[in-house]
Structure 1
Amino acid sequence: MKIFTIGFTKKSAEQFFGLLDRPDLKRVLDIRLNNTSQLAGFTRSADLRFFLRRVIGKDYLHLPQLAPTADMLKKYRDGKGDWAAYEHDFLALLSARRVEETVSAELLDGGCLLCSEATPEHCHRRLVAEYLAARWQDVIIEHLV
């Protein structure tokens, strides 16, 4: 099983869709809590669904169960980026939600976890991928940057 991840910040549409245009990537799985913000530009949910289908022939699905809560995001931002605390809280949330049981492995296989952060180091998409890789067998993670 292969899980991809990507962030759209600091990428042009050409770079973003170019990274996603590969035969082993089946669909984009949006794991943002808020996917309709004007700041998201070409990655607002309705626009992204259209562009993915039209430009590279890929499917789009929003999976909010893999997103942090609004309170968690606010606490992280207000705490001026205490990543260790955020990571701990987010991993506990994934465990409480039992996402390894409630999210289909078949859906994630060939899926690309989408969030906004430019790189995966301090992004929940990396935490989701690593969490699932630790609980499922033979998972390969590829970050598209």
Structure 2
Amino acid sequence: MVRAKVSTIGFTKSNAENFFERLIRAGVKKLVDVRLHNTSQLAGFAKADDLAYFLKKIGGIHYVHQPLLAPADDMLKQYKKDKCDWSVYERRFLALMAERKIEERFRPEMFEDTCLLCSEEKAHQCHRRLICEYLNDKWGGVMEVRHL
């Protein structure tokens, strides 16, 4: 059985030094951006093109944007703007992952030394944690997940 070491990270409330140092210390080789919108000026150093440049220059880390692992736009708007309940968002997002059949579109080895990026500071109420839990459930627990 293939074991995959995967991390997750958010950039909110983190300065660039702390953010990149956490990735380097964790041995991350590839960062998978799971944000639906990754070009906002509010993202600072984590704006897509800038982030790809910084990752490569600072840590030799490859950047990939993967919208298939992002929430649907209406789902995200309802959660953020309408302040919908986390449990409702969680159920909807897990159903979306099942509908997209992400467990068939990806393989555990694709996540080795990978870090999933979203904006949320903590993973407990972020879809990056849900992605890992969903895939681990479908793949029989092959991912060793740590939240940076």
Indicate the TM-score class for this superposition, using the shorter chain for normalisation. Answer: over 0.9
Output the amino acid matched with 2:144: I
* Partner Cα separation in structure 2 for residue 81 and residue 141 of structure 1: 27
Which residues in structure 2 correspond to 1:15-34 (within 5 Å)? 15-22=18-25, 24-34=27-37
Q: What is the match of residue 112 of structure 2? A: 109
Residue 132 of structure 2: SS of its match in structure 1? helix
Give runs of ≥4 in structure 1 deviating > 6 Å.
Answer: none
* Partner Cα separation in structure 2 for residue 109 and residue 46 of structure 1: 23
* Partner Cα separation in structure 2 for residue 78 and residue 34 of structure 1: 15
Counterpart contact for 2:108–2:143, Cα < 8 Å? no
* Partner Cα separation in structure 1 for residue 41 and residue 22 of structure 2: 23
1:78 deviation in Å? 3.5
* TM-score normalised by structure 2 residue count: 0.93
Q: What is the match of residue 142 of structure 1? A: 146
* Partner Cα separation in structure 2 for residue 49 and residue 2 of structure 1: 21
* Partner Cα separation in structure 2 for residue 8 and residue 143 of structure 1: 12
* Partner Cα separation in structure 1 for residue 33 and residue 26 of structure 2: 19
Number of matched residues?
A: 144
* Partner Cα separation in structure 2 for residue 29 and residue 64 of structure 1: 10
Output the amino acid matched with 2:71: P
Instruction: Note if 1:6 corresponds to 2:26.
Output: no
* TM-score normalised by structure 1 residue count: 0.95
* Partner Cα separation in structure 2 for residue 54 and residue 77 of structure 1: 33
Gaps of 5+ in 1: none
Q: What is the match of residue 83 of structure 2? A: 80
